[in-house]
Chains A and B, each alone.
Chain A
Amino acid sequence: MDTALSAHRFHFAFTIIYHYLFPQLTMGLAFLIALLKIQGLRTRNPVYDTAARFWVRLFAINFAMGVVTGIPMEFQFGTNWSGFAKKAGGIVGQTLAMEGIFAFFLESSFLGLVLFGEKKLGPRAHTAATVLLAIGTWVSGFFITATNAWMQHPVGHRVLPDGRIELDSLRAVLTNPWLMAQYPHTILGSLVTASIVVASIGALYVLLKMHPEQGRLFVKLGVGVGLPAAILVAFPTGDVQAKNVALKQPIAFAAMEGMFQTERGADLVLIGQPDVEKLKLDNPLEVPDVLSFLTHKRWKAEIKGLEAFPRDQWPQNIPLLYYCYHIMVGLGTIFIGVLGLAAVLLWREKLFEQRWMIWILMFLLPFPYIANTAGWVTAELGRQPWLVYGILRTRDGASEHVSSGNALFSLLGFMGLYSALSALFLLLVVKKIQKGPVPNPEPTAT
């Protein structure tokens, strides 16, 4: 692989992984804030408004980080991936521009009102503004996922003789069967992140005996929303998604599962280290025939291994793809277990007596971020060596006149900038958490 292409790929990977640390929280958190506001409006209990105000403060910092790290993503299609913009702009230009018109204006307008307008608007309109803000973030996620889904499974297009890709049906692009599983999977993943973050901060307050009433509310909210979200991430959305990959990207599927040889009655690999040089899996821990059953509902169904496909179609980084997929699935399973147990304890009104469970909830905080990131890395590495699956190779999408030196210059610039941003972000978040969900000193409009 040549240096310039590597630099462009790493440039995009670094900036998007960093960027998605923020929207994955805000999309879910906007929903939870809207729930708190609605509950506050219904019960007239100020505890919900105090909680909502606290989370809006954390939301605002995360949203600002999402905006400032998101704009470079939009630019990079032109700066670093001009081949892609030139050939596929007819399709991805549509979805990305739709995000601007249908989501960004909505989000930015109502964020200002949510942040600055609680008194100006009054409780009803302010609650409505939080709902519209949540809708805005979800619409935004829809168009971005639609763009990615088209790259994973292109539909609704025609390839012109000069290599450009023309839009045939926007409806087909927006109802892409791939998108129908990927979008709910993504949004639910975001809800898992937000729920676990809310529960974790709540657990922290409970353990520190700071703001105990709010702490317990956060834990209940986080577990209550997190458990159904974690289940739905796995089934049906994750399950359908895996079947889509098995059907439409069988090479990626084989690599994800660490299958080098074609098997009838394929085993499900739990742990093991892929050895791409010797084409085998070291130290495998497997459950017999389960992979065949999960994929085809038949215990002895055939699943093709990597060897069945030409090498130039293999994803370049099979071990990383394999690990990311297993990390995502493994953590997803753990979330269901932990949140399920917490929910049972909550239901029997024993959760807050079981300190060990509160500790576990608190330490769960980083893991949904890891799971969501690993999931996206799986999707993106699995699509390789294609940029648009089956149509445009990644190497043909990069800007040919932007040298590796120039790409590295801006990559290092972003690394420096984002390091500084991370320090500031953590400082501010810690300050906000220290301050905690304290009621407004002045009487509020509610």
Chain B
Amino acid sequence: METTWFCIAAFMMTVYVILDGYDLGAGVVHLFIARTASERATVIRAVGQVWDGNEVWLLSFGGAIFVAFPLLLATSFSGFYLPLMMLLWLLTGRALGIEFRHQLDHGSWTAFWDVIFSLSSGLLALFLGVALGNVVRGVPLATDGTFFAPLWGSGGVLDGYTVLAGLTATAALTHHGALWIALKTEGDLQMRSRRAAKFAGWGTVALLLAATLWTHRIQPHILSRFSAHPWGHLFPLVAIAGIGTAIAMRRRRRDLEAFLASSAFLAFMLITVAFSLYPYMLPSSTDPALGLTVHNAAAPASGLKTALMWWIPGMVPVVAYFVYVNRKFAGKISASEEGY
């Protein structure tokens, strides 16, 4: 039962990263690829139609953790207090950049929100990577099972490894977002986003290589997971195939295939991380026995069972809205369409 919920939480996170990942990536490249007023409006419009729904996957990931692993939520949220507060401010900045930008038609107003949108998107991508880096590296859990991480310094949120993880995530999401913009637009904007995807794609490959090597040094648990379950090698292999296909398809200007391959890459990277950490969800960098696992952090069994009974049927309409909305908003975006 705990493992089922671990999979549900990992699934929600994966969908979030794929969906909001392209919004964030679009934000990173926004200032560079969209030069004219109408191009900028086009990018914002493309993101504006979907960001809110995409962000809900993050909230539902939080919901899954709250329902199934309240101890994990309590420990990690209070331990990562300051970075999470800053994450909230960045989420606010990103949302306002999108929602307020088009409210007034004035050059300075839109320019200001373009910068806010782009900056907070980029920092959010970095933050998500740093967060993942922290989870992989583990945190200094005390004997009472709690910790409080400073931003930097000993046991801090930012160190060489987590910053590398952050940069890797930023590159991967930038690649993903640029491919999405290429898919949703035409003309110069599309050409420039393909070029941005080219740089970000190769950047991702280089950073990922470095991050993988460092990960093996920092988290020995991972190697033992793979040697105990050799079939797990399938996940990183599919991920590698994903990024390779994405780069190859982008070169052939097959935007849809490139974007889907990039989505597969992100999904299988996250599955690889989830697989290699399991049963840990928050490993301890002090004594491994203190780490939070799917077993010791789980809510009492009755609640897990009840939640499963409504979660699964609850996801059916979610998928239905998702398909409906995406079909309605399918195709290229133009800046001059209707809207409020």
Contacts and interface: CB of A to CB of B under 8 A. Distances in A.
Interface in A60-81: 60-61, 64, 67-69, 71-72, 74-75, 77-80
B188 to A, nearest CB: 24
Contacts of A56: 340
Contacts of B315: 101
B56 to A, nearest CB: 4
A1 interface: no
B50 interface: yes
Given A166-B302, A167-B306, A97 B321 contact: no
Interface in A69-113: 69, 71-72, 74-75, 77-80, 82-83, 85-86, 88-94, 96-102, 104-106, 108-113
Contacts of B288: none
Place the interface of chain B in its size category: 35 or more
A401 B145 CA distance: 11
B53 A109 contact: yes
B296 to A, nearest CB: 12
B71 interface: yes
A399 B81 contact: yes
B78 A401 contact: yes
Contacts of A341: none
Contact of B340 (A60, A75, A78, A120): A60
B340 A79 contact: no
Interface in B57-73: 59-60, 62-64, 66-68, 70-71, 73
B208 interface: no
Interface in B72-93: 73-79, 81-82, 84-85, 88-89, 91-92
A359 interface: no
B78 A104 contact: no
Given A93-B299, A401-B148, A85 B328 contact: no
A14 to B, nearest CB: 14
Contact of B56 (A93, A104, A110): A104
Identify which of B88, B89, B302, B311 gathers the most chain A CB atoms within 10 Å of its CB.
Answer: B88
A119 B318 contact: no
Nearest to B79: A401
A100 B84 CA distance: 19
A67 to B, nearest CB: 6
Given A89-B299, A115-B339, A117-B328, A410 B318 contact: no
B337 A116 contact: yes
Interface in A346-383: none
Interface string B30-62: 000000000000000000111011011001101
Contact residues of A: prevailing secondary structure = helix
A71 to B, nearest CB: 6
Given A75-B77, A89-B70, A111-B52, A119 B302 contact: no
Contacts of B67: 89, 93-94, 96-97
Interface in B171-186: none
Contacts of A68: 91-92, 95-96
Interface in B277-311: 299-300, 302-303, 306-307, 310-311
A109 B70 contact: no
A61 to B, nearest CB: 7
Interface string B182-209: 0000000000000000000000000000
Closest 7 CB pairs of A and B: A89-B70, A78-B77, A97-B63, A82-B74, A93-B66, A109-B321, A399-B78
Interface stretch (B98-106, B124-132, B229-237, B243-251): B98-106
A101 B340 contact: no
B340 A53 contact: yes
Given A61-B103, A85-B70, A113 B52 contact: no
